[in-house]
Amino acid sequence: MESIITIEDMHTEHQGFIRRYIFSTDHKVIAAQYLITALIWALVAGLLASIFRTQLALSQKSILTPESYNAAVTMHGAIMIFWVAMPLLIGAFANLCIPLMVGAKDMAFPGLNMLSYWVFFLSSIILISSFFVPSGPAPFGWTIYPPLSADARFTAAKPGEILFLFALLLEFASMLMGGINYITTTISLRTRGLGMMRLPIVVWMQLIAALVFLFAVTPLVAGIGFLLLDVIVGTSFFRVTAQSQGDPLLWQHIFWFFGHPEVYVVLLPGLGIIAEVFASHTRKPIFGYKSIVYATIASAVLSFVVWGHHMFVSGMNPSLSYPFAVTTIAISVPFSVILVCLALTLWNGSIRFTSSFLFALGSFAAFIIGGLTGLFLGSQVLDVYLHDTYFVIAHFHYTIFPSVILASFAGIYYWFPKLFGRTMNEFWGKVHFWGTFIGFNVFAFPLFFLGIAGGPRRYYDITHIDYLRHFQWIHILSTTGAVLLIAFQTPFIINFFVSVFRGKQAERNPWKATTLEWLAESPPPHRNWNGMVPVVVNDPYEYSPEGEEEEDFKPQGILIPRDEVLREGTNAPTGKH
Amino acid sequence: MWPKDISAYGYWVDDTMILVSVITVAVAILSFVIIVYSLIAFRQSRNMQATRRLGAISKLVYLDVVLLVLDIVIVSFSSIGWSHVIQGRNELIKEHKNYVETRVIGRQFFWSFVYPGLDRKFGTNDDFTLGNYLVVPVDTTVILTLTSGDVIHSLFIPNLRVKYDAVPGRETTEWFIAKRVGDYPITCTQLCGSGHFMMQARLKVVKKDEYERFLNNYKVWLEEQNSKSEYTAYGEYNHN
């Protein structure tokens, strides 16, 4: 019996390099592919940012034209959201975490999973190609507001825009394929004993994020279809011409109906990573597990009815601002529940300050500022003043940067031993953290004040404007921070690649963590469990249990040989496909 | 840093700003004090063994309730301010009170301000258009009717706490009462193309009798202004 299963499990071990590492169906290889692709994109978008921020600081001595500045800003935003945040949190970490943490041998649909990555790769190629067409990439801002984006009379970047929109559609398709896998795997491939209320927080967050994305993206796909028709065929869904009357506001409704849930799609898995790292590094169970789960579900539901706060001054009926202000401010309640629970997890802990924990902590701290400044923008009266100023930029970076970049770094340092079987250097990890964290705050915090001064976003230059001329120092300071931030990624890049090949060999469970992935070898073999089956016997975070114990944690599961599980004759899910 | 408020209802914006600032700064300080204390008190070298019991600190969960109350305060305050702004607008339009109307057309990359002339009616012979120059009387209700000739623009007058999008194919209205004579910036805040950052205009708030003089013969009035001020080159712009 066992030998048959072993042969099945070992099957792909005998496949060639291409099937094992390039067109692989193994969720860990796909996670690594997503991770590395997303990090390369993050570098591209970060370098774009440092170029246009240098332009802003130098103002008169121009290194970019206004048109290329707009294109750089657009591509920075679009890449960071769709080609960095999504593949990192929805691609890499969900792929790595979900099958291991639910005790499955792989995703429910491994072939679809492989397709998901390669469609994403194709979308990346198409997006890159838009940089090299004659009129350059799309320059409309990542929100692609028509009629600026819909009408060739107002802009020259037609080929760049078409490529961008097609790349976006493919990226959505890819993330939907991933999402189907995450939902199915979490719901139906959980191992024995793993009830929904025993799932690690990060899996909950990834599941909810996948569901939110599934519901939110559909209208936008239709919207992009309309926009492409406007651009290519010359229809008038969003265009206003002498003969036809489209509605530019329709796009804003469609875009933000997707756009706001999308922010939560990339934010929730980040919070999940923080929770995992907090629990294992404070040696305490997460405080208020159920509260966090219910709060997350509440925020996910609420995220579908807040989109109007992006449109308070758009020409939408101003009376609609009341309900949207109420829902927007209300969504701070579930988030305050999550944040208070995470803060209380620190209390009475025994905190280990590893690089991973520092990044999780930095993410947590910065996200508090991001969340609180949301209250300014949720208030409709204040939003009229602050809308489309640098205040929005600062707020957005204080929510997205912690939850995407800082949390992903926390996750990379935390799961690197599991993914690559080696450990990253701690000293350089800490150097990386302090440089990144300080650089980020120097970059983003001054921008709040530029926004309060009334400085509009997406301005190529402010030194020719009387009331903003004196605030050029904010741009210079902010650019200094941004350059520092980019520069301090060098230790990470070197540390990452040196550790992949030369790092210290990792044990099975270097952090003495409880969740199921740490039962597997580092790195786990193909199909993860070497013919064993993880069976869940505990809640996910049994750290520092009461009473005398040898270790200060009880693993969530135990590994049982497959035939023993089969002999017990149960139909409970065992991770078989 | 915060531009001077010259608007009759701008205090709603400024007071909400103060209210939300006080609340968020207080909550942020409280959170960071608790977090920094936890990090120092519960680091591994001081606290070898974690304990699950929280004791009195678990009362911190009531912070969520406090935050909920603060949220309700913010949203109520903000909504009262908002109702003040939009009901004022609706009543003005409905009741045809004594107000001054100017039409605003955004184009890549300049603002056209259309004045009705002395008869205060649009579509008559004495209408005239100025590029990038909005002149309004002090202490008088002003209605701006915004639209766009090409893409979406947004008219932002920081000192008046006014911002509204100019959308092609539809008219949006904005109103204000300027309380102080002077010269103020107007800017575009919705990305409208490569010249977006150049799309600047001036607001000139003048005394009521001067406004009459301006409507009566704007050319003479503009020449006077240009000779007095460093801002020149505002002039007639024929948008048709």
SS3 A504: strand
Contacts of A243 (CB under 8 A, 6+ apart): A236
Cα–Cα distance for residue pair B113/A64, rounded to 1 Å: 32
Q: Contact B164/B174 with Cβ under 8 angstroms?
A: yes
Cα–Cα distance for residue pair A159/A165, rounded to 1 Å: 10
Determine the pLDDT at residue B59: 87
Spell out the per-residue pLDDT of chain A, length 577, in tens.
333 344 445 455 556 888 888 899 999 999 999 999 999 999 999 999 999 999 999 987 789 999 999 999 999 999 999 999 999 999 999 999 999 999 999 999 999 999 999 999 999 999 999 999 988 899 999 999 999 998 878 876 688 999 999 999 999 999 999 999 999 999 999 999 999 999 999 999 999 999 999 999 999 999 999 999 999 888 899 988 888 888 999 999 999 999 999 999 999 999 999 999 999 999 999 999 999 999 999 999 999 999 999 999 998 988 899 999 999 999 999 999 999 999 999 999 999 999 999 999 999 999 999 999 999 999 999 999 999 999 999 999 999 999 999 999 999 999 999 999 999 999 999 999 999 999 999 999 999 999 999 999 999 999 999 899 999 999 999 999 999 999 999 999 999 999 999 999 999 999 999 999 999 999 999 899 988 999 999 999 999 988 767 788 999 999 999 888 777 655 454 444 4
Q: Residues of B with CB below 8 A from A237's CB?
A: none
- Minimal Cα distance from A287: which residue of B? B52
**Residue extents of the structural domains in chain B:** 10-95, 99-228
Cβ contact, residue pair B50, A544, below 8 Å: yes
For chain B, the average pLDDT equals 89
- Minimal Cα distance from A291: which residue of B? B61
Q: Write down how long chain A is.
A: 577
Kindly state whether B165 is in contact with chain A, defined as any CB-CB distance less than 8 angstroms: yes
List the beta bridge partners of residue A332. Answer: none
List the beta bridge partners of residue A9. Answer: none
Helices A158-188 + A201-232 axis angle, to 10: 150
Q: Which residue has the tokens 């300049």?
A: B110
Place B232 in a pLDDT band, splitting at 50, 70 and 90: very low
Kindly state whether A344 is in contact with chain B, defined as any CB-CB distance less than 8 angstroms: yes
Work out the burial of residue A212: count CB atoms within 10 Å of its CB; fewer than 13 is exposed, 13-18 middle, 19 or more buried.
buried
Cα–Cα distance for residue pair A380/A326, rounded to 1 Å: 9
Domain B99-228: CATH class, spelled out: mainly beta
Handedness of CA A522, A523, A529, A532 (dihedral sign): negative
Average confidence (pLDDT) over B199-209: 94
DSSP secondary-structure letter at B178?
B
Q: Give the residue among A304, A213, A208, A210 at the shortest CA–CA distance from A253.
A: A304
SS3 A475: helix
Determine the pLDDT at residue B229: 57
Cβ contact, residue pair B47, A449, below 8 Å: no
Whether the bond between B109 and the residue before it is cis, its omega within 30 degrees of 0, is yes
Cβ contact, residue pair A388, B163, below 8 Å: yes
Contacts of B157 (CB under 8 A, 6+ apart): B163, B176, B184, B185, B186, B203
Which tokens in the block code for residue B71? 């949220």
The interface predicted TM-score of the complex, written ipTM, equals 0.93
In chain B, residues 182-201 whose CB comes closer than 8 Å to chain A:
185, 187-198, 200
Kindly state whether A558 is in contact with chain B, defined as any CB-CB distance less than 8 angstroms: no
Higher pLDDT: A60 or B151? It is: B151
Distances (CA, A) of B220 to A140, A256, B128, B133, B137: 41, 48, 14, 15, 17
Structural domains of chain A, ranges and CATH numbers in brackets: 2-567 (1.20.210.10)
Average confidence (pLDDT) over B20-36: 95
Cβ contact, residue pair A147, B150, below 8 Å: yes
Q: Residues of A with CB below 8 A from B82's CB?
A: 318, 321-322, 325, 380-381
Cα–Cα distance for residue pair A468/B189, rounded to 1 Å: 14
Kindly state whether B28 is in contact with chain A, defined as any CB-CB distance less than 8 angstroms: yes
| Interstrand relation of B110-115 and B141-148 (parallel, antiparallel or unpaired) | unpaired
pLDDT digits (tens, 9 = 90+) for B60-116: 888 899 999 999 999 999 999 999 888 877 777 667 668 899 999 999 999 999 999
In chain B, residues 211-240 whose CB comes closer than 8 Å to chain A:
none
Cβ contact, residue pair A284, B50, below 8 Å: yes
Q: Residues of B with CB below 8 A from A464's CB?
A: 198, 200
Cα–Cα distance for residue pair A275/A442, rounded to 1 Å: 26
Q: Contact B186/B156 with Cβ under 8 angstroms?
A: yes
Q: Residues of B with CB below 8 A from A353's CB?
A: 43-44
Closest in B61, B169, B189 to A456, CB measured: B189
Residue B56 has pLDDT above 80, yes or no: yes
Cα–Cα distance for residue pair A381/A366, rounded to 1 Å: 25
